[in-house]
Amino acid sequence: MKTLVVGGGLTGLVAAERLAAAGIIAPVLERESEPGGACRSIEADGYTFDHTGHLLHVGRPETEAYLTEIGVWEQLRVWERRAAIVVGDHVTPYPIQIHTHGLAANVRRDCLLGFIRAWGGDGEDEATTFRDWVLERFGTGLAEHFFFPYNRKLYRAEPEELGLDWVGRYVPKPDLEAVVDGALGLHDEKIGYNAVFRYPTSGGIRLLPDRVADRVPDLRTDSEVVRLHLGEHWLELAGGERLAFDTVVSTISLPRLLDMVCDELPSDVAEARRALRWVRVLNIALGVRGPAPVPEHWRYFPDPEVSYYRVGFPSNHGRLAPDGCHTVSVEISFVPGRGDVVAEAAEAETALAGAGLLDPENVEVRQLTMVDPAYVVFDHDRRDAVSMLRAWLRSHDVRLTGRWAEWKYSAMEDAVLDGMAAARRLAEEAG
């Protein structure tokens, strides 16, 4: 059985590596000149930049076992998250729901009263929109001061346009006592999926895909797939070479995959393709002389007046800058095809300087990278569209694996697990 893996990011690399371990050689076709996808790191003038912060959260023993097997685990250091939220002129630790003590008194009052009023409310499980879910769970104050403006900036969508498929794991709900303690500055327990994280003791996050790639027997870089013929079971590379397949494991973005299908799309498939929404993210990576201006690993910015939603200081957790220097990673989200990227990047640096987070005179290196797609917009059409597209592609022997292929929200650990699961299924079927 001839299997082709499209995309040499973490998911595709792990799938091919595990297939090879089971005795099946599946070529990996990667568009770029090096593998790793969103987990690549760039080196420039002594600085190392990831594609925005890429911190590893490991919750499953099989992930730890795999990272140990490929020689990555012992090269990771464990960090306790240091993250903050900026509301107006005030900075308070993340997550806001148990740390309102750092906010202005009137904002703290709104958040606390809103939470207490929502606490006794009915129907928490009845919410179907992100807007109602936040109001029922956290109340009006936290909604208006953080959850609504922050998610508007990140997803470029109104809270009522978003469904709930993505929230459970990522937005922790504390109890009333924790919220009251948090308003008084008495809560010091770290909660949430990212309370601790791991990061390489030296160099960027590319350590992880690089180690997997070393074990992939047939990795073809500079091999962009441009056409896919489902009826005849071949795909075509940018240079014109055609490769026949029995099965394709696609890890590239779902709309891009559909756009390269040269068979005529049935009308319901074409409609589902049009329903897929996403945002792209500009990462402004800066290498700056002098020590980092703040101790945090990253800060969130819900303020609608500034374009960025998150600013990271990656050299606070990794050896990513020359001695005495630091790195900054600024994230701005865009609707595809909209927004003046260059102007927004310049404005962002001015705003950062105004906030005392950047000294423009000390910027030594600047790298602008567009991550596209970056975040799937979980609107109300997503679930049905994805399940029908998945079934249709599967009926043509194309399997979707990973964050952007399955059109979901997931992290590097999931990429490893998704790759492993895809390989396991194929190896079982091959007998």
Helices (H) then strands (E): counts for the chain: 12, 19
Q: Which residues pair with 84 in a beta bridge?
A: 93, 299
Q: How far is CA 116 from the centre of its chain?
A: 32
- Give the span between the Cα atoms of 396 and 200, in whole angstroms: 40
Nearer to ligand FAD, 109 or 256 (CB): 256
Looking at residue 266, the DSSP 8-state letter turns out to be P
Looking at residue 328, the DSSP 8-state letter turns out to be E
Nearer to ligand FAD, 111 or 252 (CB): 252
- Give the span between the Cα atoms of 274 and 112, in whole angstroms: 41
* Cβ neighbours of 40 (radius 10 Å): 21
Please state the φ and ψ torsions of residue 316, each to the nearest 5 degrees: -75, -10
- Give the span between the Cα atoms of 417 and 361, in whole angstroms: 44
3-class SS at 188?
coil
- Name the minimum Å distance from CB 218 to ligand FAD: 14
Nearer to ligand FAD, 6 or 306 (CB): 6
Looking at residue 241, the DSSP 8-state letter turns out to be -
Residue 145 burial by Cβ neighbours in a 10 Å radius (0-12, 13-18, 19+): buried
Nearer to ligand FAD, 30 or 110 (CB): 30
Residue among 29, 6, 50, 45 nearest 371 (CA): 50
User: Do 90 and 107 contact (CB within 8 A), yes or no?
Assistant: yes
Nearer to ligand FAD, 256 or 396 (CB): 256
Q: Which residues pair with 56 in a beta bridge?
A: 198
Nearer to ligand FAD, 140 or 410 (CB): 410
Q: Side by side, which strands form the sheet with 225-229? A: 225-229, 234-237, 242-244
Residues within the interface to ligand FAD (CB under 6 A)? 6-12, 29-32, 37-39, 52-57, 224-225, 251-252, 256, 281, 371, 374, 402-404, 410-412, 415
- Can you give the C-alpha Rg of the chain in angstroms? 22
Nearer to ligand FAD, 35 or 149 (CB): 35
- Name the minimum Å distance from CB 372 to ligand FAD: 9
- Name the minimum Å distance from CB 278 to ligand FAD: 10
Nearer to ligand FAD, 137 or 408 (CB): 408
